[in-house]
Structure 1
Amino acid sequence: MEAQIAATIVCGLLIAIGTLGVVVPVLPGLVTVAAGLLVWALVLQNTVGWVVFAVGLVFVAAGMLAGAVLTGRRLKERRIPNYSILVGVAAGIVGMFLLPVVGLFVGFAAGLLLSEFVRRRDFRAAASASAVALKAMGLGILAELGCAFVVGSVWTVGVILHFFL
C-alpha cells in the first residue's frame, strides 16, 4: 500500500510538472504527464490504473496533435518558415536567462520578429507574420493545456475510485 501511495504522489507531481511544462516550454509537457500515468499504472497493476492510463494517453495524444495541427496550419498559411521559429526559440532560450520568468516569451517574440524582418525587409509584414505566429503558438498551448487538465481530472477520478471506493 505504501508503494501505491508513493506512486500516486509521484504521479500527481509529474502531472503538475507536465501541465506547467505545457505553458513553460522548457519542460516536456504532455510527455511528462503520460510518464506519470504510466508509473501509476505500473505500480497499481489493476484495472483502474490501466484504464486511467489508456484514457489519459488518448487525451495526451489529442493535445499533442491539436497543438501541432493548430500551430502548423496557421504558420503554413502565412508562409512562416521553420528557421524563423527556430530563431525565435533560440532567442527565447537566451531571454529566459536574461529576464527570468518572462524572458522566454519576450525573447521568442523578439527573435521571431527580427527573423521575419530580415527575411521580408518590411517591418509591418514582419510584425503581422510574427503576431500570427504568436497567436498560433498560443492556440496550440491552450489546446495542450486543456488536454492536460482533462488528464489530471481523469487521474483524480481514478485516485478516488482506487483509494476511496
Structure 2
Amino acid sequence: MDVGQLVLVCLVILLGVIGVLIPGVPGPAIVWAAVVWWALSDTSALAWGVLIGSTAVLLLSQALRPLLPSRRTRPSGIRRRTLLAGGLTGIVGFFVLPVVGVVPGFVGGIYAVERVRLGSHRDGWASTRAVMRSAGYPVLVELSCCLLVLGAWLGATLWG
C-alpha cells in the first residue's frame, strides 16, 4: 500500500473517531470501513489480524449499547460542547497515557467545561456525574473502542 493511500485511510479513521462525538454520524462504522479498506489493500496476516480484532472490538461496542443509557443530550439539558470537549481531551489522553488515558481525559474534559461554566468544584463535579450518567458512558465506550482500533492500526502500520 502506498503512502498516499495510508494517509487517506488514517484520515478516514480519524473522521470516524471524531464522528463518535457528533450525533448522527456512524463513527464506529466509518472506522471499521477504513480498516477493511486497508486490510483488503495490504492482505498481510497482520492486516487481517487487525481487521478481525477491530471487528470484534467494534461489535462488542455495539453489543454494549443497549446496556448503556441513551446518547440523547437534548432532553437531559447536556450541551453538545461539553461532550465534544470531553471527547477531544479523551483523544489527547489516549495518546499521552496510551490506552487508559482516554478515561481520565474524557471525564477531565467534561469536568473542566462544567467547572468553568458553573464556577465551583462541587457544582462542576455534580454536573460531570450527571453528564456521565445520562450520555457520557455510551460516548466513552464508543470512543474508547474506536481509539483502540486506531491504535492497533497505527501499531500495525508503523511497526508491522
Normalization by structure 1: what TM-score?
A: 0.57
CA deviation map 1:105-152 (0-9, x unaligned): 9xxxxxxxxxxxxxxxxxxxxxxxxx9797332211111111111111
User: Which has more radius of gyration?
Assistant: 1
CA shift at 1:17, angstroms? 0.7
The question of 1:32 aligning with 2:33 is answered no
Following TM superposition, by how much is the alpha carbon of 1:27 offset from its aligned partner in structure 2, in angstroms? 2.1
Task: Kindly state the Cα deviation for residue 64 of structure 1 after the two structures are TM-superposed.
Answer: 2.1
Question: Of 5, 10, 13, which aligns to 1:12?
Answer: 10
Secondary structure at the counterpart of residue 20 of structure 2: helix
Query: Which of 139, 143, 154 is the equivalent residue of 2:137?
Result: 139
Q: Would you say how many aligned residue pairs link Structure 1 and Structure 2?
A: 116
Answering whether residue 15 of structure 2 is matched by residue 23 of structure 1, we say no
Percent identity between matched residues is 23
- Counterpart CA distance in 1 for 2:15 and 2:152 is 16
- Counterpart amino acid of 2:67? V
Q: What are the ranges of 5 or more consecutive residues in structure 1 without an aligned counterpart? A: 76-84, 89-94, 96-100, 106-130
Query: Which residue of structure 1 aligns with residue 151 of structure 2?
Result: 153
Between Structure 1 and Structure 2, the one with more helix by share is: 1
Q: What is the TM-score of this pair, normalised by structure 2?
A: 0.59
Residue 21 of structure 1: how far off its partner (Å): 0.8
CA RMSD of superposed structures (Å): 3.3
- Residues 65, 148 of structure 1: CA spacing in aligned structure 2 closer, same or farther, 3 A cutoff? same
